[in-house]
Structure 1
Amino acid sequence: MLRAAASVAAAGALVAGCDPDRDEDPGARHTRRASPSGESHPVPAPAHAARPPTRASGLPVEIAHGPRTGHAVALTFHGRGDPTLARALLGEAERAGARVTVLAVGDWLDEQPAMARRVLDGGHELGNHTMHHRNICALPAAEAYAEISMCADRLRALTGTIGSWFRPSQAQRATDLVTRLARKAGYPHVLSYDVDSHDADDPGAPAVQRTVLDSVAPGSVVSLHLGHAGTVAALPPILDGLRRRGLRAVTTTELVT
């Protein structure tokens, strides 16, 4: 808990510009280049490229988990909320050598456009979680399609692709209509999950950790959320627990392809 709290505080200090000798973005990786005057300046490392929509041969249109015979799981995060908490969480994952999948909400990307590149530059994966996080399975076809396509447009403008995955908002499973509309928008699969952390209810870090580790299995796709301090605090012990079981956290595309 103290480690995660410190990470949150550090991320906040960086955003506020309190440490001029460190990069503003805790996930940025830099080399150093000498100027003609002999001074050393940080030079951003090449950015990770955005992935196009993933096509997993032999898997169903709606994917809830990956192979049960491997040694990997996918931690997937609904992308919305305080960007300081989001950066802290991504930093925790990177310190542990983990890679995650962020399903971003379009209006969050409008408010926090730099987060798209922050996710990708950390080696993570970015996808579509609708434009406004409405109950997409209850919407008429035209409105549901607009929710998917508008977020896809935001992702394309920011990264060059519509993202690796589409996940329906306010629903674990997509209806047949939403599945068809997602395919129309360019997503071969709908991404579901088999483990719900219930972290959005803010039960506290120990409860989130217990829920995930009690339910996870090889191949699991775990549903988590950005923007919750308890999730940031829970992530290091979750990753430790996975490692003790011989499991590693990878992107969803790595899990299923």
Structure 2
Amino acid sequence: MSGRRTPVARRGALRTAAGGVLAGAWAVGCAPDGTPHTPSREVRHGESTPSAESTPSTESTASTPSAQKAHGAVRPAAAPRRFPGQPVQIEHGPRGRPRVALTFHGQGDPTLARAVLGAAERAGARLTVLAVGSWLDQNPGMARRILDGGHDLGNHTQSHLDINAMDETRAYEEITGCARRLRRLTGSIGTWFRPSRAQHATPLVQDLARRAGYPHVLSYDVDSLDFTSPGVAAVTRKVAGELRNGSVVSLHFGYRDTVAALPLLLTEIDRRQLRAVTTTELLT
């Protein structure tokens, strides 16, 4: 990754980021077993935000040329690619290289999402964001913000429901619905697909993802459990205790604990002489 800061400069930037934690709304998380979790907020886990195709949004859906013009052209996103030697469902990258991938489930207060992206960029880190389609409907500018920061952008289903429990038709629509939004906003269906409300996709969902154009399903081997709102220390301790070469870490936008913990995690990553890179770079 070009332009990487020295450890001293990075730690200074991380301390600055840690002091700028923003308060905000709580987002919907993904329990690894699909069990709903209900944070203290009006929208409960498992409720889907109405699609902008049927409900007007406070922001343009960017689904028309005029809307796209209003938000500015998004640089084309990378398309999905096949990684020879990797399984259909990827949990981690090569263990022999000092790299890790921090992956974020893209939903929740966009102010907190921007705080996460900014903290990562100040530290020279790049992330992988798996966006929920209905979130992109309401916040189409986030697609541009993510890509302009040099991060991966992928698909986390349209409605963020338990995709493994759906029948074939409905599950496929969840995948392709989000893919259509990504294509309208970025020119690509996104670099990755991750199932909603589950760490692993069922064989059926894996097949449907391939049919939709995603050669791999992106899982993870380190779960931060930040969606349970356990506190900054608990999030930091959980990730730091399991992190190693090639790890793919599951985190979420929209949680204040996560925003506060990220600078601490990046400092720990730097101390171990690891690099936080996109999942694409992790596997390349």
Q: Same fold by TM (over 0.5)?
A: yes
| Change in 2 beyond 3 A, CA 1:5/1:108 | farther
Mapped to 1, the partners of 2:189 and 2:115 lie a distance apart of 25
Q: Does 1:129 align with 2:162?
A: no
Query: Cα distance, 1:140 vs. partner?
Result: 0.2
**For residues 172-205 of structure 1, what are the alpha-carbon distances to aligned partners after superposition, in whole Å with 9 as ceiling and x for unaligned?**
0111000000000000000000000000111111
Mapped to 2, the partners of 1:216 and 1:67 lie a distance apart of 13
More strand by share: 1
Q: Which residue of 2 aligns with 1:248?
A: 275
1:151 to 178, 194, 198: 178
Contact 2:74 2:186 in 1 (8 A): no
Q: Which residue of 2 aligns with 1:142?
A: 169
**Local SS of the residue matching 1:119:** helix
Q: Which residue of 2 aligns with 1:232?
A: 259
Q: What one-letter code is carried by the residue in structure 2 that aligns with 1:129?
A: H
Mapped to 1, the partners of 2:96 and 2:75 lie a distance apart of 29
Matches within 5 A, 1:1-257: 3-4=17-18, 6-8=20-22, 48-257=75-284
**For residues 32-52 of structure 1, what are the alpha-carbon distances to aligned partners after superposition, in whole Å with 9 as ceiling and x for unaligned?**
xxxxxxxxxxxxxx9654110
Q: What one-letter code is carried by the residue in structure 2 that aligns with 1:121?
A: D
Mapped to 2, the partners of 1:96 and 1:167 lie a distance apart of 26
Contact 1:167 1:192 in 2 (8 A): yes
Query: Cα distance, 1:54 vs. partner?
Result: 2.5
TM-score (normalizing by structure 2): 0.76
Q: Which residue of 2 aligns with 1:37?
A: none
Contact 2:102 2:277 in 1 (8 A): yes
Give the root-mean-square deviation of aligned CA atoms: 1.5
Query: Cα distance, 1:6 vs. partner?
Result: 1.9
Mapped to 2, the partners of 1:148 and 1:219 lie a distance apart of 27
Mapped to 2, the partners of 1:92 and 1:54 lie a distance apart of 28
**For residues 112-142 of structure 1, what are the alpha-carbon distances to aligned partners after superposition, in whole Å with 9 as ceiling and x for unaligned?**
0000110000010100000001100010000
Contact 1:68 1:219 in 2 (8 A): yes
Q: What one-letter code is carried by the residue in structure 2 that aligns with 1:159?
A: T
Mapped to 1, the partners of 2:256 and 2:81 lie a distance apart of 30
TM-score (normalizing by structure 1): 0.83
**Local SS of the residue matching 2:22:** helix
Query: Cα distance, 1:3 vs. partner?
Result: 4.2
Query: Cα distance, 1:2 vs. partner?
Result: 8.1
Query: Cα distance, 1:5 vs. partner?
Result: 5.2
**For residues 59-106 of structure 1, what are the alpha-carbon distances to aligned partners after superposition, in whole Å with 9 as ceiling and x for unaligned?**
110000000000100000000000000000100000000000000000
Q: What one-letter code is carried by the residue in structure 1 that aligns with 2:245?
A: P
Q: Percent identity?
A: 63
Q: Any unmatched runs of 5+ in structure 2?
A: 1-14, 24-72
Query: Cα distance, 1:57 vs. partner?
Result: 1.3
Query: Cα distance, 1:55 vs. partner?
Result: 1.5
Contact 1:79 1:129 in 2 (8 A): yes
Mapped to 1, the partners of 2:161 and 2:168 lie a distance apart of 13
Contact 1:128 1:162 in 2 (8 A): yes
Contact 1:48 1:123 in 2 (8 A): no
Q: Any unmatched runs of 5+ in structure 1?
A: 10-45
| Change in 2 beyond 3 A, CA 1:74/1:48 | farther
**Local SS of the residue matching 1:123:** coil
Q: What one-letter code is carried by the residue in structure 1 that aligns with 2:278?
A: T
Number of residue-to-residue matches in the alignment: 221
